[in-house]
A and B are shown apart, each in its own frame.
Chain A
Amino acid sequence: MYLILLPILFPILAGVCLLVCRKDLSRKLLTVTTGTCLVITGALAITALTRVKQDFTLFYLTRTLPVYFHIDQISILFSLLTVIVFLCAGFFSFAYMKHEQKEKRYYGYYLMAFGVLNGLCFAGNLITFYLFFELLTLSSFPLVLHTGSKEAIMAGLKYLFYSLCGAYASLFGIYFLCQNCDTLTFTAGGVLQVSAASKDGSFFLFLAFMMILGFGVKAGMFPMHAWLPTAHPAAPAPASATLSAVIVKAGVLALIRVIYYIFGADFIRGTWVQTTWLALALVTVFMGSMLAYREPVLKKRLAYSTVSQLSYILFGLAVMNEEAFTGSLLHVLAHGFIKGTLFLTAGAIIYTTGKTKVDELRGIGKEMPLTMWCYTIVSLGLIGIPPTGGFVSKWYLAIGGLAGDIGIFRYLGPAILLVSALLTAGYLLPLTIRGFFPGTDYDYQTLQKREPCPLMTIPILFMTILSVLIGLFPTVIVDTLTDFVSTLI
């Protein structure tokens, strides 16, 4: 039972110890300690996922507010993603953080964010979820402002206040839900009282909308997406990788929990809330791609891409049928691995060359072939070319969209997804082209191999392979998902 607490508390405590400890640890010792903590946490999380069958109430905040943990398929999915990305990015940072200062502080908050994310995945009711949601913001904003430049600090604050704004908008809904649901425990199909839903239906729809907007801030949904492209480039590359691959997914997880487990899909389906949500998601998809296409700075381009890709997921959630939902979950995984890899490769490039703009990176593929091959493979995945992960998830999303009972969005949705895929190719592939085909006037004499150290390449390679594997064997995941997805819809 207490097994479920270990992957949450251990990294948090380890992180706090690192932060409080005033002695300057040597770099080697720090790396070894953090590495051990990361591996132990990963192992603990996996153990908890496989071993813990029961739910578990830790204690009661007040009589009606239990801190309660429960593991279901959604938790397993998100938790696995968290563990893999955090381990990969963690090992990557051991090499990357050499050129940053105050590593101890970075690893402290990194570990804390890891633990908090585990807590978020395991949370079994809305209050526990909200608790970890707030803590996630508070433990991850120091990662964003880590470099300490003026822009980084402003970006960190922007992230912090946007996220808090979203959290408070959701809290508004939680206050009302608390008194109109029998329980706030996540239950497939929703827990909103029938009497409340029928009597004050329109008000509760408004609340649902507030919560979608509020939690949507974290998932970078228009109109509150502006923090994402500011925060990502400012953070150190491994931090942006976790931010983009996992932390923004907390917003997705939140929306799944709120819409499918608290309000219930039936309550939202066919209302103005669904329509607006679909519209916002599609606007974000298109706008994100468009902005990414125009952006010269590599990491910022990737950040806009995250904005766009996350709204693919949100679109799938908003359609509310089985195929689209499956597609969303697959895209959570696929995008997690792909975008993690992309940010890590961007980090590797910055680390070795110091260049940040796409235009400056001519011939990079000749210098760092392995890294750029990984970049190219996952880029193809994100565009949606089979047999990589992105193809399957987008397939399901498009099928779901076409089959959905969502009016004009039935055609508009898949169409925008396709246009956006085209744009994705347009903003990701130039780097490949420029990197591998620098042109005839490129000076091959001065070329030297600058492949980064294994500590950087292995995590990149590992996540690339994973993203391909998802594309090759999607049935493994889809089969496990089918049964329980049908209970939600």
Chain B
Amino acid sequence: MIICIILIPLLAGILVPVLPFRKRSHKEIFLEGAVILNSILVWYLLLHHSESTFLLAHFTGDLNISFRVDGMSMVFAGLVSGLWPFATLYAFEYMTKEEHENTFFLFYTMTYGITLGIALAANLLTMYFFYELLTLVTVPLVMHTLTREAILASRKYLYYSLGGAAFAFIGLIMVIVYGTTTDFILGGVLDPGKIGDKNNILLLIYVMAFMGFGVKAAVCPFNSWLPQAGVAPTPVTALLHAVAVVKSGAFAIIRLTYYSFGTEFLYGTWAQTTVIIVVMFTIVYGCSRALKETHIKRRLAYSTISNLSYILFGAVIMTPLGLTGALTHLVFHAVMKISSFFCAGAIMHQTDKRYVHELNGLGYKMPCVFGIFTVSSLALMGVPGLAGFISKWNLAGAAVNSRNSLAYAGIACLLLSALLTAIYMLSIVVRAFFPGKDFDDGPIQNVHDPNWKMLLPLFVFTVFIIIFGLHSQPIVDFFYDVATGVY
């Protein structure tokens, strides 16, 4: 069953260029059908999961490729499988204006399977394996337009990711050497007997592995690939560079911290201090760069950099509440950011405008898109009643609760970043809705909202932003259970 849900998208993706579709709509139905079927299977599996581990291949010793459903995988797999069908629907409409559609959908759909592989991996080695695959399978997507810019971006992405994975690999080795097993066990697997007096070495290795996986989570100073990768078609930037790929990085860090090294080993050490400082710096750095950036998608990419570090900030507080906050933001940010990216994509699709200063007065021409963009901006800022407020509330609550004065400073960073978020998001909204009195809407006379394939995902995400904002208790309770190891 587990292997099924990883293979279906891979197969469906490979079949896209092979099958002789007579009409485009057939291809759409085939792909959408496969993705939805897979999502249903994922949810079925998550809801009826068993504790058992599925062993796929066995190498030597206790090195093996195996899968298991636990709390963390439920969160990540559930999130990814919830978003993918909508993103695919959106992509059908978006890709009508781009070329090489088949190649695009080939890799786009395969990525789904790979991401699920990361989510469901039962041990560090499996996760590492799929993590590398994810890099390889997404490179063609970044390269998609085949412009010089795209090729440079994809090359950079490739080097950064592989380099990061190499560092992470060192962490993997150390866990194998000093741990009892490579399986993910909440609380960590390090064996105190084996560690002896090598504490500091291990902490150093942790920081290295953190930075290694942090490349995908765009931790400063390894973040510059992400804004550049924005040259990819919007469905890729939205789903992969705001959710699947970058959150794999965050997910891997959480696995590493909570399930391999263990918070007991790391809590209160200089390693924790180091990573908190790095994360805090990234939060502020990402926001300030977003403020400076005038290209809409790149601005959102910088915003992603900052928000990913919110997640990591929760994670490196290293308490159950911190992990709860991290997971809350992992899920909520995914919905908010994919929504705002899809709005940016819809604007590009309808008007070919890419820069913030070109958006004057568009709000009245595309009321749905900009209305939704406004909601997601407010949510990202953290206005109460929307999703962002709850996740920030949980993160800050965890920081207060940890009684760690560095974490207090982290709250200040969060709020500073919220202010900057308000500035860079709302200045777009204000431009769109309040263009000024001398504004001439002649050139944008014929602009209108996109069709339902683009709007439906946007509406669904907006509804979720509001639901998460108003009634988040059940899902936050679930995250808390995950963080305390009930699931």
**A and B interact physically:** yes
Pairwise interchain contact B415-A176, C-beta atoms closer than 8 A: no
Pairwise interchain contact A61-B390, C-beta atoms closer than 8 A: yes
Say whether B412 faces chain A, with CB atoms less than 8 Å apart.
yes
On whether A61 and B397 interact (CB within 8 A), knowing A169-B415, A172-B411, the answer reads no
Pairwise interchain contact B390-A179, C-beta atoms closer than 8 A: no
Pairwise interchain contact B470-A59, C-beta atoms closer than 8 A: yes
Bound together, the chains give a CA A22 to CA B473 distance in angstroms of: 37
Pairwise interchain contact A164-B419, C-beta atoms closer than 8 A: yes
Pairwise interchain contact B412-A172, C-beta atoms closer than 8 A: yes
Number of interface residues of B (CB under 8 A): 37
List the A side residues contacting B411 at CB < 8 Å: 172, 175
Bound together, the chains give a CA A153 to CA B438 distance in angstroms of: 12
> In the complex, what's the smallest C-beta–C-beta distance from B367 to chain A, in angstroms?
8
Say whether A233 faces chain B, with CB atoms less than 8 Å apart.
no
On whether A161 and B423 interact (CB within 8 A), knowing A148-B436, A176-B400, the answer reads yes
Say whether B396 faces chain A, with CB atoms less than 8 Å apart.
yes
List the B side residues contacting A172 at CB < 8 Å: 411-412, 415
Pairwise interchain contact B422-A60, C-beta atoms closer than 8 A: no
> In the complex, what's the smallest C-beta–C-beta distance from A337 to chain B, in angstroms?
31
Pairwise interchain contact B400-A157, C-beta atoms closer than 8 A: no
Pairwise interchain contact A161-B419, C-beta atoms closer than 8 A: yes
Say whether B472 faces chain A, with CB atoms less than 8 Å apart.
yes
List the B side residues contacting A153 at CB < 8 Å: 430, 434, 436
> In the complex, what's the smallest C-beta–C-beta distance from A243 to chain B, in angstroms?
17
On whether A62 and B476 interact (CB within 8 A), knowing A138-B383, A147-B437, A148-B436, the answer reads yes
Say whether B384 faces chain A, with CB atoms less than 8 Å apart.
yes
Say whether B418 faces chain A, with CB atoms less than 8 Å apart.
yes
CB-based nearest A residue for B383? A134
Pairwise interchain contact A178-B397, C-beta atoms closer than 8 A: yes
CB-based nearest B residue for A130? B384
Among B450-487, those with CB < 8 Å from A are: 469-473, 476
Pairwise interchain contact B412-A145, C-beta atoms closer than 8 A: no
Pairwise interchain contact A157-B427, C-beta atoms closer than 8 A: yes
Among B410-432, those with CB < 8 Å from A are: 411-412, 415-416, 418-419, 422-423, 426-427, 430
Pairwise interchain contact A148-B384, C-beta atoms closer than 8 A: no
Residue from B378, B423, B430, B437 within 8 A of A101 (CB atoms): B437
Say whether A63 faces chain B, with CB atoms less than 8 Å apart.
yes
Bound together, the chains give a CA A124 to CA B472 distance in angstroms of: 22
Q: Mark A138-151, 1 if CB is under 8 A from B, else 0.
A: 10001001011110
On whether A164 and B434 interact (CB within 8 A), knowing A61-B384, A127-B384, A131-B384, the answer reads no
Say whether B350 faces chain A, with CB atoms less than 8 Å apart.
no
Q: Mark A36-65, 1 if CB is under 8 A from B, else 0.
A: 000000000000000000000001111101
> In the complex, what's the smallest C-beta–C-beta distance from A312 to chain B, in angstroms?
29
Say whether B401 faces chain A, with CB atoms less than 8 Å apart.
yes
Pairwise interchain contact B419-A165, C-beta atoms closer than 8 A: yes
Say whether A171 faces chain B, with CB atoms less than 8 Å apart.
yes
Say whether B187 faces chain A, with CB atoms less than 8 Å apart.
no
Interfacial residues, chain B to chain A (CB-CB below 8 A): 367, 378, 381, 383-385, 389-390, 393, 396-397, 399-401, 411-412, 415-416, 418-419, 422-423, 426-427, 430, 434-439, 469-473, 476
Q: What would 28 A/B residue contacts be, using CB atoms closer than 8 Å?
A: A22-B367, A60-B473, A61-B385, A61-B472, A101-B437, A130-B384, A134-B383, A138-B378, A145-B430, A148-B434, A148-B438, A149-B436, A150-B436, A153-B434, A153-B436, A156-B434, A157-B426, A161-B419, A164-B381, A164-B419, A164-B422, A168-B415, A168-B419, A171-B415, A172-B412, A172-B415, A175-B397, A179-B401
**Contacts A150-B436, A168-B419, A175-B396 known; 4 new A-B pairs at CB < 8 A:** A61-B384, A61-B469, A175-B411, A178-B400
